[in-house]
Structure 1
Amino acid sequence: MRSVSVVIPCYRYGHYLEQAVASVLDAQPGVDVRVLIIDDASPDGSDEVALDLAARDPRIEAVVHPTNHGHIATYNEGLLGWADSTYTVLMSADDLLTPGALGRAVDLLEAHPNVGFAYGYAVRFRDDEPLPPVRTQARGWSVWQGSDWLERRFRLARSGISSPEVVVRTEVQRRAGGYDAKLPHLADTQMWMRLASLADVGYVRGVDQAWYRQHTSNMSLSFDEVAELRQAREVFDSILTHLGGDVDARRLARLVRHKLAWEALFVATRAHDDGRASDAQLDALVEFALECWPQARRMPIHHALRLRRALGPRVMSALAPVVPPARGVRFLAESRDRYDSPWEVAEALVRPGRQSVRFA
């Protein structure tokens, strides 16, 4: 039987735990699954939920920290100190796997021993909404050389992967080591790229592999945008250092610095369109863009931002029906790197809640 170790760190998410664990154990045929719940000293009784689940099912183990270790240390404890199956999944206690997700990913990994991890679509949903319907019939696989997949990440300046949809070959995870505590908000982005530097990457096409919950407690929604962009730059710089002489580091550095500058200007333009940023916040984003790419003032998106700010919110509101929104501009600008075919572009337009092959 193919075996998967699933590590579920938990901090104050005990009310989600039973649903998360059920998604791992009750609808994953064809794989032998073990689960480790690590409660990181939650103050809300999550530890009791974890221990109760472990007492009811021998496939579940629970560890309760007496003091808080932080999420990175908790990840590494489970991945490097406990996981011993052929494959490993790291999943937050507030996310869920879709039915059959593990079997679909393991099928790909078994067929391609050179692939270090496999992933797929992650359907995002709001905390106050029911689970959206998902697709469970795969249309096939895509397999990329790790170096090709890495270059796409540098072109996009992000991984686009949420995390619960990823199944990692445990041997490759051990070679990569643990998550980097110096990158608390983007350690996962760095990890996917570190894994891709060691092995090829696989993608399960045409299905939804996980549900990713969005709510006000998500760290990604409480993190300062400029600080996140700076950490993204640090992540990509660290990968270039890690890769050493195996790649054209200068070319990749130019790709990601140019994209990060564009991304900062895009974030500023979107925030201006939404009316949720002060002049000081917009100025900070422009300053970051110029740090990354001194020629950023020549970018069309910089001219668009300057025009928006000059006209002011009242005029821009009146022009809204004829001015392309920032999100639309991003879609067009990134479509070459985000999608493999015109079919995927069409799917992204009609099903915008799902991540794309190239974006993810």
Structure 2
Amino acid sequence: MASVDVVIPCYKYGSVLPTAVRSVLDQPDVDVRVLVIDDASGDGSAEVARALSDVDSRVTVVEHERNKGHIATYNEGLLEWASADYCALLSADDALTPGALRRATRLLDAHPEVGFVYGRPVHWDGSAPLPPARTADRGWTVYNGLSWLRRRFALGDGCITSPEVVVRTALQRELGGYDPELRHTGDIEMWMRFALHADVGYLRGVDQAYYRVHGENMSAAYYASVVADLRQRLAAYSAVIDRANGQLPDKDSLDRQVRRVLARDALRRAGRAFDKGRAEIEPVAELVDFAREAAGAVDDLPEWHTLRLRQRLGARRAKALAPLVLTAPARRIRRHVRELRWQRSGI
């Protein structure tokens, strides 16, 4: 029977911690241990954790005397405590779906070349009972690690939220944990770093975890700043390239590719601000500055031309023409605007 160590960092989430812990302890056909690390919550969360440990010896509790922050807490559990065949990190406000660890460990047992495995998360508002999840085994896909990594550069998106991942513990210890310099994209960088050294497993058509979405998510305030999000994403990709150590012979082209992808994302977001009538509120100028910093010249990007058209139209007219702007090439939009002018002038 495969063994899995699950680290559950907790900061002021004592009210929802039992759901997370129980979702691990109830996993069938795996030998599990749970480490709850209370990061000096000071609100009774540690007492909740101790109560859970008192009734199940598989639960261990560590209490920080002072707050160390999420990255240090993650790494403490994954690098200093975890010793089972496999390990996972589960936020105290998330949960595993039934059978998630069995499905993941079956793949990892069958494919020793795979470093980590993931499936899909169910986005969940925290209501009870937990919503239905797809748990029927639909098979798996094993991706070549470098191919999976290049796909991430092509899309500029990490594609993983985190609780749906199970990692081979030996690989975790060998390659290290979360980068303290990447406070909000350390997970993206870590998965890509693992893919430099191992293949990647994907569980098809199945939900592996519940990811709670609410106003107190640690990333909620951060992602309110879209420019900061883009900068952190770029920093994660740059860190992977810097650490490739010759394993990515095409790293220069990958760097250029992801920079253009993120620049296009920034310009697209700037354009959407006009479509939503929020050009005076959202950081349009900062998004354009980021695009130029990331990719250099942006004049050849289609998003740049549609943004410039929106700017010429002005916020009010751009919002009115948003459906046309989103679906038509710029020359058709310009023609439509000319027709509107002719109609208004009576020509």
User: After superposition, what is the alpha-carbon deviation per residue over 1:196-250, rounded to whole angstroms, capped at 9, x for unaligned?
Assistant: 1111000000111111111111232211221221122111111111112221111
Q: For 1:327-338, what aligned pairs fall within 5 Å after superposition?
A: none
Residue 218 and residue 271 in structure 1: after superposition, are their counterparts in 2 closer, same or farther (change >3 A)?
farther
Tell me whether 1:86 sits opposite 2:85 in the alignment. yes
Aligned partners of 1:290 and 1:297 also within 8 Å: no
The residue identity in structure 2 corresponding to 1:133 is P
Q: Aligned partners of 2:274, 2:193: CA distance in 1, in Å? A: 35
Q: Could you say what secondary structure the match of 1:237 adopts? A: helix
Mapped to 2, the partners of 1:209 and 1:245 lie a distance apart of 34
* In structure 1, distance between residues paired with 2:273 and 2:82: 42
SS in structure 2 opposite 1:168?
A: strand
Superposed CA RMSD:
1.9
Give the aligned residue type for 1:262: R
CA contact (8 A) 2:37 2:64 kept: yes
- Structure 1 CA distance for aligned equivalents of residues 327 and 127 of structure 2: 27
What code does the residue aligned with 1:281 have?
P
State whether residues 276 and 319 of structure 2, in contact with CA within 8 Å, keep that contact through their aligned partners in structure 1. Answer: no
| Paired residue type of 1:242 | R
Alignment partner of 1:278 is 2:280: yes
- What one-letter code is carried by the residue in structure 2 that aligns with 1:168? V
Cα distance between partner residues in 1 of 2:221 and 2:48: 26
- Supply the AA of the counterpart residue of 1:261: A
Query: Where in structure 2 are there 5+ consecutive unaligned residues?
Result: 329-347
Q: Which residue of 2 aligns with 1:191?
A: 190
* Aligned-partner Cα distance in 2 for 1:166–1:267: 29
Alpha carbons 2:279, 2:315 under 8 Å: kept: no
User: Where do 5+ consecutive residues of structure 1 fail to align?
Assistant: 327-360
Given that residues 17 and 93 in structure 2 are in contact (C-alpha distance below 8 angstroms), is that contact kept between their aligned partners in structure 1?
yes
Distance (whole Å) between structure 1 residues aligned to residue 297 and residue 244 of structure 2: 27
How far 1:320 moved relative to its partner? 4.3
Aligned partner of 2:306 in structure 1 is: 304
Q: Verify the 8 A CA contact 2:149 2:195 in the aligned structure 1.
A: yes
Structure 1 position 266, deviation (Å): 2.1
> What is aligned with 2:172?
173
In structure 2, the partner of 1:148 is 147
Counterpart residue identity of residue 64, structure 2: H
TM-score after normalising by structure 1 = 0.86
Q: CA deviation at 1:299?
A: 1.3
The answer for the alignment partner of 1:111 in structure 2 is: 110
Structure 1 residue identity aligned to 2:36: I
> Could you tell me which residue of structure 2 aligns to residue 33 of structure 1?
32
Would you say 1:11 and 2:11 are equivalent positions? yes
CA distance in 1, matches of 2:207, 2:181: 31
Deviation at 1:323, TM superposition (A): 4.5
Who wins on radius of gyration, i.e. which is larger?
A: 2
The separation in 2 between residues aligned to 1:131 and 1:300, in whole angstroms, is: 43
User: In the alignment, is the contact (CA less than 8 A) between 2:277 and 2:319 conserved in 1?
Assistant: no
- Report deviation, 1:280: 6.9
- Partners of 2:89 and 2:18 in 1: CA distance: 16
**Alpha-carbon offset, residue 291 of structure 1:** 1.1
State the Cα distance separating 1:68 from its structure 2 match.
0.3
Number of the residue aligned with 1:44: 43
Distance 1:266 1:19 in 2: 39
* Residues in 2 aligned to 1:101 and 1:8: alpha-carbon distance in whole angstroms: 16
Asked if 1:244 corresponds to 2:260, the answer is: no
SS in 1 for 2:283: helix
CA contact (8 A) 2:29 2:102 kept: yes
**Post-superposition shift, 1:125?**
2.3
Q: Deviations over 1:119-174 (max 9, x none)?
A: 01111123468643211112211111111011011111121200000000000101
Distance in 1, matches of 2:275 and 2:143, equals 37
Report if the CA contact (8 A) 1:36-1:78 is conserved.
yes
Task: State whether residues 185 and 219 of structure 1, in contact with CA within 8 Å, keep that contact through their aligned partners in structure 2.
Answer: no
Q: Residue 336 of structure 1 corresponds to which residue in structure 2?
A: none
Letter of the aligned partner of 1:311 in structure 2?
Answer: L
SS in structure 2 at match of 1:243: coil
Percent identity for Structure 1 against Structure 2:
55
Q: How many residues align?
A: 325
